[in-house]
Structure 1
Amino acid sequence: MTLQHVLEHGEPHERSAIITMLTGQIVQMSQQKFASNVIEKCLTFGTPAERQMLVNEMLGSTDENDPLQVMMKDQFANYVVQKLLETCDDQQLELILNRIKVHLNALKKYTYGKHIVARVEKLVAAGERRISILTPHPAQMA
């Protein structure tokens, strides 16, 4: 049985054990072809608390330590970042998007970074549409 299978179909305590075991290695594993799929499953099937742990690790602790930037340029890790954008909650999404926006122009120069740029632009546009739907246009308020 593979780790991916256990993450998807296993018991919650088995999933937690795997995610705990992988903590501290998320960025390195995301840069490997098969291990990156395991990290994507962790994001998809982990609990909100486990996902937060993974988000924290990918964001890093300081501006100098920016694992997310490394991941966005990597041929395999960029897919983990895309999965992160799909699976995180609104609060995490805002934090991640703010971190990514700083690097958008630089990312456009990288083959794999372009995937992230497209996804972020789509999310930002969707967010702006959602905001405009919730906020009445000034002309409608008159």
Structure 2
Amino acid sequence: MAIMLSRHVLQHGKPEERTSIIKQLAGQIVKMSQQKFASNVVEKCLSFGSPEERQILINEMLGTTDENEPLQAMMKDQFANYVVQKVLETCDDHNRELILSRIKVHLNALKRYTYGKHIVARVEKLIAAGERHIGVSSQSCRD
């Protein structure tokens, strides 16, 4: 019930209510992302949170080391992989590039995991879209 209410508040509630929920999740993002219904709440936080609130969640996912341990665990998880995909969909360009650079290191290993394959497909789609965008941009510069 609390999770259902949280999802509704994140989408339709006041900014201060949303902020309160995100603050309660802080420090638990990876754990919550690995649970069926709680992962939906984290996704809603990413969709409806402010850029600053999204940054809190992203920082926690990336962890404090270059080893990407929280992100690696999430990419292989049956529920958390969707949170990683939502991050890629909702973050700004700078964070997307940072996250993609950390994911690309693990692409071959992710192909061996059922849920990691979802991340590989999303990353390949983003890379292809980026190349098309760059191709269009450079084409228009020549005209």
| TM-score in terms of structure 1 length | 0.94
| Structure 1 position 73 matched with structure 2 position 82 | no
Q: Does 2:105 align with 1:90?
A: no
Offset at residue 134 of structure 1 (A): 1.2
CA deviation vs aligned residue, 1:3-25 (integer Å, no higher than 9, x gap): 00000000000000110111000
The alignment status of 1:47 with 2:45, answered yes or no, reads no
- The question of 1:60 aligning with 2:71 is answered no
2:125 is the counterpart of 1:122? yes
Where does structure 2 lack aligned partners over 5 or more consecutive residues?
none
What corresponds to 2:35 in structure 1? 32
Aligned-pair Cα RMSD in Å: 1.6
Alpha carbons 2:68, 2:102 under 8 Å: kept: no
- Distance of 2:68 and 2:104 partners within structure 1: 17
Change (3 A) 1:35 1:56: same
Q: Secondary structure at the match of 1:135?
A: helix
What 5-or-longer segments of structure 1 have no aligned partner?
A: none
Offset at residue 35 of structure 1 (A):
0.4
One-letter amino acid of the counterpart of residue 106, structure 1? A
**1:80, 1:34 → 2: CA distance?**
12
**How many residues were matched structurally?**
140
Q: Percent identity?
A: 73
Structure 1 residue matching 2:66: 3-state secondary structure: coil
The one-letter amino acid paired with 2:103 is: I
Q: Matched residues in 2 for 1:125 and 1:48: separation?
A: 26
- Displacement of 1:123 in angstroms is 0.1
Offset from partner CA, 1:110-140 (integer Å, 9 cap, x none) = 00000000000000000111111112499x5
